[in-house]
Amino acid sequence: MLTAAGGDVREILRNVLLPKPVRDPYPWYARLRQEHPALRTDQGLWIFSRYQDVAQILGDPAFAAKDAAWFDAHLPFWRDHPGMLAFLSCMVFQNDQHHLRLRRAMAPAFAPARLRHLAQVTQVSVAERLGTLEDRPDPVDLHQHYSLPVVRDTICALVGVPADSGPELYELVQPLLGLLDPLPSEATIRRADRSAGVLRPLLEDLVLQRRRRPRDDLAGHVSILRDDEAVSALMLALAAGFDTAVTLVDHCLAAPATGTHRTVLESLRHDPPLQLVTRITRCAVVVGEITLEPGEEVMALLGSAHRDPERYPDPDHFDPDRNTVPLLAFGGGAHYCLGARLARTIAECAVPALQQRFPGTSRSAGPRTARRITLAGWTSLPMRLAPAD
């Protein structure tokens, strides 16, 4: 399945592409960059790991997103799976006019006035959660009791659903995230189908309500689309919004406390929540020393690009004072993350608020990691809290 030349390459690929209970991909990325900066697996997938190549793939119009035509040709069973059909029809997997039409429908929900409203939602949620932390026994799992609920409340407001439906929606989108991995298992695909079976009618109902009574939230804005498109757009917002931003807040809380703006940027560089993107070539194109033919499948490792010593000296060291921009954590080109500003705003509110309330906070044990590749993230962050006197 993962074969490509010799056994050492297989070992690298196993560590880069397959989920494991405890996983640190960074040493394996380093080997890829040094030994196989452009690696083609026997299944024809090209893997790029150096900053310069990854940046080119994100911005060069010679690369397109995988779309329905690609899925029909390479995953012919995808239309038989409701989870795949709904999630892989969202705009991340569309190109050109189709993509633009869907992106234009979603974009007003991220306009500056909406972001100001959402920042207030984050602030209220932060204040509420901080109030509950002191009563919890040490160590407190800040992932479960802080990052996750704060992000969940904000994303619920973005979408336009009540905050108390957040926990259920969060659980329902988890299986969809597994579909982003390079090699989703049959069990993952079945779980995503079950989730979509519950999510779809909930979201269809929400869209119907907005058509009757318009509102200035994401559900309201996407209600101009076809039913299936609107449902996919809302699934995307829930899937793309929850765990990415939670991971960012978790990473910043675990980092040494310094100026928040810089900590957020360096955290996005050091361990980007979304580790990779995939593309296909529209035409022949040269990347580094390799000429790719039209129709080739390409994986760009964002996490590896950010540890490339050619771009960031001493890349494994967390250094908030370094110049990080341009970062690749939010992608680039036509698919640049629509929620980038929102994610940073959430982190820039939640992280200093916790550090001010509990200035002596320290890690009590290592976080646990989700068994995923593309959106790895943590499932716990136990920390000892020391309140301000």
Residue 281 CB, nearest distance to ligand HEM (Å)?
Answer: 15
The DSSP code sequence of 293-355 is PTT-EEEEEHHHHTT-TTTSSSTTS--TTS--PSP-TT--GGG--TTHHHHHHHHHHHHHHHH
Question: Cβ closer to ligand HEM: 275 or 355?
Answer: 275
Residue 277 CB, nearest distance to ligand HEM (Å)?
Answer: 4
Q: Which amino acid is at 53?
A: D
User: Is 55 within 8 Å of 305 (Cβ atoms)?
Assistant: yes
Could you give the angle at the alpha carbon of 282 between the alpha carbons of 88 and 273, nearest 5°?
45
Longest dimension (CA), the chain: 64
Q: Rounded to whole angstroms, how far apart are CA atoms 130 and 20?
A: 33
Residue 257 CB, nearest distance to ligand HEM (Å)?
Answer: 19
Site residues for ligand HEM per CB under 6 A: 91-92, 103, 236-237, 240-241, 244-245, 248, 272-274, 277, 329-331, 335, 337-339, 342-343
Q: Rounded to whole angstroms, how far apart are CA atoms 1 and 72?
A: 20
Question: Cβ closer to ligand HEM: 9 or 347?
Answer: 347
Residue 22 CB, nearest distance to ligand HEM (Å)?
Answer: 22
Residue 35 CB, nearest distance to ligand HEM (Å)?
Answer: 26
> At how many degrees (to 10) do helices 166-177 and 148-159 cross?
90
Question: Cβ closer to ligand HEM: 32 or 64?
Answer: 64
Residue 389 CB, nearest distance to ligand HEM (Å)?
Answer: 33
Nearest residue to ligand HEM by CB is 339
Residue 10 CB, nearest distance to ligand HEM (Å)?
Answer: 26
Question: Cβ closer to ligand HEM: 25 or 385?
Answer: 25
User: Is 329 within 8 Å of 220 (Cβ atoms)?
Assistant: no
- Only one residue has tokens 């991971």, namely 247
Q: Rounded to whole angstroms, how far apart are CA atoms 30 and 36?
A: 10
Q: Are strands 276-281 and 140-141 parallel, antiparallel or unpaired?
A: unpaired
Question: Cβ closer to ligand HEM: 192 or 240?
Answer: 240
What is each CA distance from 17 to 12, 324, 330, in whole angstroms?
9, 26, 20
Question: Cβ closer to ligand HEM: 51 or 330?
Answer: 330
Residue 127 CB, nearest distance to ligand HEM (Å)?
Answer: 20
Q: Which amino acid is at 298?
A: V
Residue 89 CB, nearest distance to ligand HEM (Å)?
Answer: 12
Buried/exposed 215-225: b ≥16 CB within 10 Å, e otherwise: eebbbbbbbeb
Q: In a 10 Å sphere around its CB, with 0-12 CB exposed, 13-18 middle and 19+ buried, how is residue 52 labelled?
A: middle
Mark out the alpha helices in 178-313 (DSSP H runs).
Answer: 186-212, 218-222, 227-254, 260-270, 302-305
Question: Cβ closer to ligand HEM: 160 or 273?
Answer: 273
